[in-house]
Homo-oligomer: A and B are copies of this chain.
Protein backbone atom coordinates (compact mmCIF):
# COMPACT_ATOMS: atom_id res chain seq x y z
CA UNK A 1 0.00 0.00 0.00
CA UNK A 2 0.90 3.62 -0.06
CA UNK A 3 -0.88 6.38 1.84
CA UNK A 4 -3.94 7.35 -0.26
CA UNK A 5 -3.05 6.32 -3.80
CA UNK A 6 -2.92 9.00 -6.44
CA UNK A 7 -2.59 8.29 -10.15
CA UNK A 8 0.84 8.60 -11.76
CA UNK A 9 2.93 10.56 -14.18
CA UNK A 10 5.65 8.12 -15.28
CA UNK A 11 8.87 9.43 -16.79
CA UNK A 12 10.50 6.66 -18.83
CA UNK A 13 13.94 7.35 -20.20
CA UNK A 14 17.71 7.39 -19.77
CA UNK A 15 20.08 9.48 -17.65
CA UNK A 16 18.49 12.72 -18.84
CA UNK A 17 15.23 11.50 -17.30
CA UNK A 18 16.94 10.08 -14.19
CA UNK A 19 18.62 13.46 -13.69
CA UNK A 20 15.18 15.04 -13.77
CA UNK A 21 15.18 14.58 -9.96
CA UNK A 22 18.02 17.08 -9.56
CA UNK A 23 17.14 20.60 -8.31
CA UNK A 24 15.25 22.37 -11.14
CA UNK A 25 15.09 19.11 -13.13
CA UNK A 26 11.86 18.44 -15.01
CA UNK A 27 10.87 15.65 -12.60
CA UNK A 28 11.36 17.84 -9.54
CA UNK A 29 9.32 20.62 -11.13
CA UNK A 30 6.51 18.30 -12.17
CA UNK A 31 6.42 16.78 -8.67
CA UNK A 32 6.14 20.27 -7.14
CA UNK A 33 3.31 21.51 -9.37
CA UNK A 34 1.40 18.20 -9.35
CA UNK A 35 1.68 17.80 -5.55
CA UNK A 36 -1.62 16.48 -4.07
CA UNK A 37 -2.82 15.66 -7.61
CA UNK A 38 -0.57 13.08 -9.30
CA UNK A 39 2.55 11.24 -8.10
CA UNK A 40 5.59 11.52 -10.34
CA UNK A 41 7.41 8.21 -10.83
CA UNK A 42 10.86 8.51 -12.39
CA UNK A 43 11.91 5.49 -14.44
CA UNK A 44 14.98 7.10 -15.92
CA UNK A 45 17.74 4.50 -16.25
CA UNK A 46 21.08 6.11 -16.91
CA UNK A 47 22.83 4.67 -19.98
CA UNK A 48 19.80 2.75 -21.27
CA UNK A 49 18.46 2.78 -24.82
CA UNK A 50 15.18 1.72 -26.45
CA UNK A 51 16.41 -1.85 -26.94
CA UNK A 52 17.13 -2.33 -23.26
CA UNK A 53 14.02 -0.65 -21.91
CA UNK A 54 11.65 -3.12 -23.59
CA UNK A 55 12.67 -6.13 -21.43
CA UNK A 56 12.50 -3.78 -18.44
CA UNK A 57 9.00 -2.62 -19.33
CA UNK A 58 7.90 -6.23 -19.94
CA UNK A 59 8.54 -6.93 -16.26
CA UNK A 60 5.76 -4.48 -15.38
CA UNK A 61 2.75 -6.14 -13.85
CA UNK A 62 -0.27 -5.75 -16.12
CA UNK A 63 -3.58 -4.28 -15.11
CA UNK A 64 -5.76 -7.34 -15.02
CA UNK A 65 -7.96 -7.27 -11.96
CA UNK A 66 -6.37 -4.04 -10.77
CA UNK A 67 -9.15 -1.60 -11.56
CA UNK A 68 -8.71 -0.18 -8.14
CA UNK A 69 -5.03 0.63 -8.44
CA UNK A 70 -3.21 3.78 -9.55
CA UNK A 71 -3.30 4.48 -13.24
CA UNK A 72 -0.62 6.07 -15.36
CA UNK A 73 -2.30 9.23 -16.58
CA UNK A 74 0.77 10.54 -18.43
CA UNK A 75 3.73 8.56 -19.75
CA UNK A 76 6.72 10.39 -21.19
CA UNK A 77 9.07 8.31 -23.36
CA UNK A 78 12.42 10.02 -23.79
CA UNK A 79 15.25 8.06 -25.39
CA UNK A 80 17.79 8.59 -28.13
CA UNK A 81 20.77 10.12 -26.34
CA UNK A 82 22.33 6.64 -26.02
CA UNK A 83 20.71 4.95 -29.03
CA UNK A 84 22.51 7.59 -31.13
CA UNK A 85 26.07 6.66 -30.12
CA UNK A 86 28.21 5.40 -33.01
CA UNK A 87 27.77 1.72 -34.04
CA UNK A 88 30.96 0.47 -32.39
CA UNK A 89 29.63 1.37 -28.91
CA UNK A 90 27.47 -1.08 -26.95
CA UNK A 91 24.59 1.34 -26.40
CA UNK A 92 24.07 1.96 -30.13
CA UNK A 93 20.67 1.16 -31.62
CA UNK A 94 20.30 1.60 -35.40
CA UNK A 95 17.89 4.31 -36.47
CA UNK A 96 15.27 1.95 -37.94
CA UNK A 97 15.30 -0.24 -34.84
CA UNK A 98 15.03 2.88 -32.66
CA UNK A 99 11.82 3.89 -34.45
CA UNK A 100 10.50 0.31 -34.23
CA UNK A 101 11.28 0.16 -30.51
CA UNK A 102 9.42 3.42 -29.88
CA UNK A 103 6.43 1.92 -31.74
CA UNK A 104 6.68 -1.21 -29.59
CA UNK A 105 6.65 0.84 -26.38
CA UNK A 106 3.68 2.87 -27.59
CA UNK A 107 1.71 -0.23 -28.50
CA UNK A 108 2.48 -2.01 -25.26
CA UNK A 109 0.37 0.68 -23.59
CA UNK A 110 -2.05 1.49 -26.40
CA UNK A 111 -2.99 -1.82 -27.96
CA UNK A 112 -6.05 -3.51 -26.43
CA UNK A 113 -4.32 -6.86 -27.03
CA UNK A 114 -1.31 -5.92 -24.90
CA UNK A 115 -0.83 -7.27 -21.39
CA UNK A 116 0.04 -3.68 -20.44
CA UNK A 117 -2.94 -2.05 -22.14
CA UNK A 118 -3.83 1.12 -20.25
CA UNK A 119 -6.55 3.12 -21.98
CA UNK A 120 -6.26 5.93 -19.43
CA UNK A 121 -2.66 6.72 -20.34
CA UNK A 122 -1.73 9.69 -22.51
CA UNK A 123 1.71 9.28 -24.09
CA UNK A 124 4.19 12.04 -24.89
CA UNK A 125 7.31 11.21 -26.92
CA UNK A 126 10.23 13.54 -26.21
CA UNK A 127 13.03 14.08 -28.73
CA UNK A 128 16.64 13.67 -27.59
CA UNK A 129 18.36 17.01 -26.96
CA UNK A 130 21.20 18.17 -29.20
CA UNK A 131 24.75 17.37 -28.04
CA UNK A 132 27.79 19.60 -27.68
CA UNK A 133 30.65 17.28 -28.64
CA UNK A 134 33.54 19.66 -27.82
CA UNK A 135 32.12 20.02 -24.30
CA UNK A 136 31.35 16.29 -23.98
CA UNK A 137 34.86 15.27 -25.15
CA UNK A 138 36.56 17.47 -22.60
CA UNK A 139 34.39 16.74 -19.57
CA UNK A 140 36.47 16.40 -16.41
CA UNK A 141 35.99 12.65 -15.92
CA UNK A 142 36.90 11.63 -19.49
CA UNK A 143 40.17 9.72 -19.98
CA UNK A 144 42.55 11.35 -22.48
CA UNK A 145 42.39 9.51 -25.82
CA UNK A 146 38.81 8.31 -25.30
CA UNK A 147 37.23 8.04 -28.76
CA UNK A 148 34.35 10.35 -29.59
CA UNK A 149 31.13 8.34 -29.27
CA UNK A 150 28.42 10.61 -30.69
CA UNK A 151 27.84 13.73 -32.72
CA UNK A 152 25.25 16.39 -33.33
CA UNK A 153 24.21 15.38 -36.86
CA UNK A 154 23.49 11.78 -35.90
CA UNK A 155 21.58 12.78 -32.77
CA UNK A 156 19.52 15.15 -34.90
CA UNK A 157 18.45 12.18 -37.07
CA UNK A 158 17.19 10.40 -33.94
CA UNK A 159 15.24 13.52 -32.96
CA UNK A 160 13.73 13.63 -36.45
CA UNK A 161 12.80 9.96 -36.12
CA UNK A 162 10.82 10.72 -32.94
CA UNK A 163 8.90 13.40 -34.83
CA UNK A 164 8.12 10.91 -37.61
CA UNK A 165 7.05 8.14 -35.23
CA UNK A 166 4.79 10.56 -33.38
CA UNK A 167 3.18 11.68 -36.63
CA UNK A 168 2.68 8.20 -38.06
CA UNK A 169 1.42 6.74 -34.77
CA UNK A 170 -0.73 9.69 -33.79
CA UNK A 171 1.24 10.24 -30.58
CA UNK A 172 1.99 13.70 -29.21
CA UNK A 173 5.64 14.79 -29.52
CA UNK A 174 7.39 17.24 -27.22
CA UNK A 175 10.27 18.53 -29.30
CA UNK A 176 13.10 19.65 -27.03
CA UNK A 177 15.83 19.40 -29.66
CA UNK A 178 14.42 22.36 -31.59
CA UNK A 179 14.02 24.89 -28.74
CA UNK A 180 17.38 23.97 -27.17
CA UNK A 181 19.10 24.37 -30.53
CA UNK A 182 17.29 27.65 -31.09
CA UNK A 183 18.25 28.91 -27.61
CA UNK A 184 21.87 27.96 -28.34
CA UNK A 185 21.83 30.31 -31.32
CA UNK A 186 22.03 27.26 -33.60
CA UNK A 187 25.68 26.85 -32.62
CA UNK A 188 27.07 23.79 -30.88
CA UNK A 189 29.11 25.89 -28.44
CA UNK A 190 25.95 27.81 -27.55
CA UNK A 191 24.64 24.62 -25.94
CA UNK A 192 27.15 24.98 -23.10
CA UNK A 193 24.71 27.31 -21.35
CA UNK A 194 22.18 24.45 -21.09
CA UNK A 195 24.35 21.43 -20.33
CA UNK A 196 26.88 20.65 -17.68
CA UNK A 197 28.90 18.23 -19.78
CA UNK A 198 27.66 18.60 -23.35
CA UNK A 199 25.10 15.76 -23.03
CA UNK A 200 23.29 16.18 -19.71
CA UNK A 201 21.09 19.18 -19.03
CA UNK A 202 21.64 21.73 -16.30
CA UNK A 203 18.91 23.82 -14.65
CA UNK A 204 18.68 26.16 -17.69
CA UNK A 205 18.37 23.19 -20.04
CA UNK A 206 15.67 21.56 -17.91
CA UNK A 207 13.79 24.87 -17.84
CA UNK A 208 13.39 24.65 -21.61
CA UNK A 209 12.32 20.99 -21.35
CA UNK A 210 9.87 21.64 -18.52
CA UNK A 211 8.28 24.58 -20.30
CA UNK A 212 8.02 22.64 -23.57
CA UNK A 213 6.41 19.70 -21.76
CA UNK A 214 3.90 21.83 -19.87
CA UNK A 215 2.96 23.57 -23.12
CA UNK A 216 2.58 20.16 -24.80
CA UNK A 217 0.24 19.08 -22.00
CA UNK A 218 -1.73 22.32 -22.12
CA UNK A 219 -2.14 22.20 -25.90
CA UNK A 220 -2.86 18.49 -26.32
CA UNK A 221 -4.28 17.10 -23.09
CA UNK A 222 -5.44 20.14 -21.09
CA UNK A 223 -7.41 17.93 -18.71
CA UNK A 224 -4.02 16.78 -17.37
CA UNK A 225 -2.59 20.28 -16.86
CA UNK A 226 -2.00 20.78 -13.15
CA UNK A 227 -4.16 23.90 -13.10
CA UNK A 228 -7.10 21.80 -14.27
CA UNK A 229 -6.74 19.17 -11.56
CA UNK A 230 -8.12 19.85 -8.11
CA UNK A 231 -6.10 18.65 -5.12
CA UNK A 232 -7.20 15.21 -3.90
CA UNK A 233 -7.74 16.58 -0.40
CA UNK A 234 -9.27 19.93 0.49
CA UNK A 235 -7.08 23.00 0.90
CA UNK A 236 -6.71 23.54 4.65
CA UNK A 237 -8.82 26.70 4.74
CA UNK A 238 -11.75 24.78 3.23
CA UNK A 239 -11.70 22.10 5.92
CA UNK A 240 -14.79 22.39 8.10
CA UNK A 241 -13.98 21.47 11.72
CA UNK A 242 -17.68 20.83 12.35
CA UNK A 243 -17.82 18.32 9.47
CA UNK A 244 -14.29 17.01 9.55
CA UNK A 245 -14.77 13.58 8.02
CA UNK A 246 -17.00 14.90 5.26
CA UNK A 247 -14.72 17.76 4.29
CA UNK A 248 -11.69 15.44 4.19
CA UNK A 249 -13.19 12.90 1.78
CA UNK A 250 -10.75 12.21 -1.03
CA UNK A 251 -11.95 13.79 -4.23
CA UNK A 252 -12.27 12.04 -7.55
CA UNK A 253 -9.81 13.69 -9.92
CA UNK A 254 -10.91 11.80 -13.05
Chain A interfacial positions (CB closer than 8 Å to B):
1-5, 8, 10, 12, 18, 21-24, 27-28, 31-32, 35-36, 39, 41-48, 51-52, 55-57, 59-63, 66, 68-72, 75, 82, 90-91, 116, 118, 233, 235-237, 239, 241, 244-245, 248-250
Are B2 and A10 in contact, CB atoms less than 8 angstroms apart? yes
Residues on B with beta carbons closer than 8 Å to the beta carbon of A1: 60-63, 66, 69-72, 116, 118
Contacts A/B (CB < 8 Å), 16 sampled? A1-B62, A1-B70, A2-B10, A3-B10, A3-B56, A4-B56, A4-B57, A18-B36, A21-B32, A36-B45, A46-B235, A46-B236, A51-B244, A56-B248, A69-B69, A90-B241
Partner of A52 from B57, B91, B248 at Cβ < 8 Å? B248
Closest 5 pairs (CB-CB, A-B): A47-B236, A23-B23, A21-B32, A55-B248, A21-B31
